[in-house]
Amino acid sequence: MSKETIDKDKLLKLGWVEGTDPIYPMSKVLSDPEINEEDHLRLVVHQLEGGWMFAVSMPDGGLLNFVAHSTEELQTFEKMIHSYNPTY
């Protein structure tokens, strides 16, 4: 059984946005667009560890890296994220 390839076109169809940063070339905002941009919780694709990886980018700069083998897995994970409460 072959695994689906998640490519740029599929991410764009899922609402991801292509940016200009070569380290974080695509992202999708998960938090309320009404809040300050620096406080957004977003999904990103990055290559900080030598290969392409999905992560949840936290407002404090942290990354929660995760594996998604298909767009279905990616969408399921996205739907399970409810909110982010920063430390105060």
Judged against a pLDDT cut of 60, whether residue 86 lies above it is answered with yes
Task: Report yes or no on 35 lying in a domain.
Answer: yes
Task: Report yes or no on 39 lying in a domain.
Answer: yes
Distance CA 1, CA 4 (A): 10
Which pTM value belongs to this model? 0.84
CA 21 to chain centre: 14
Task: Report yes or no on 86 lying in a domain.
Answer: no
Task: Report yes or no on 3 lying in a domain.
Answer: no
Within 10 Å of residue 11's Cβ, how many Cβ atoms?
21
For residue 8, the model assigns a pLDDT of 93
For residue 1, the model assigns a pLDDT of 44
CA 15 to chain centre: 11
Task: Report yes or no on 2 lying in a domain.
Answer: no
Distance CA 18, CA 27 (A): 7
Number of independent structural domains in the chain = 1
Residue 63: give the domain boundaries: 8-80
For residue 61, the model assigns a pLDDT of 87
For residue 50, the model assigns a pLDDT of 82
For residue 88, the model assigns a pLDDT of 66
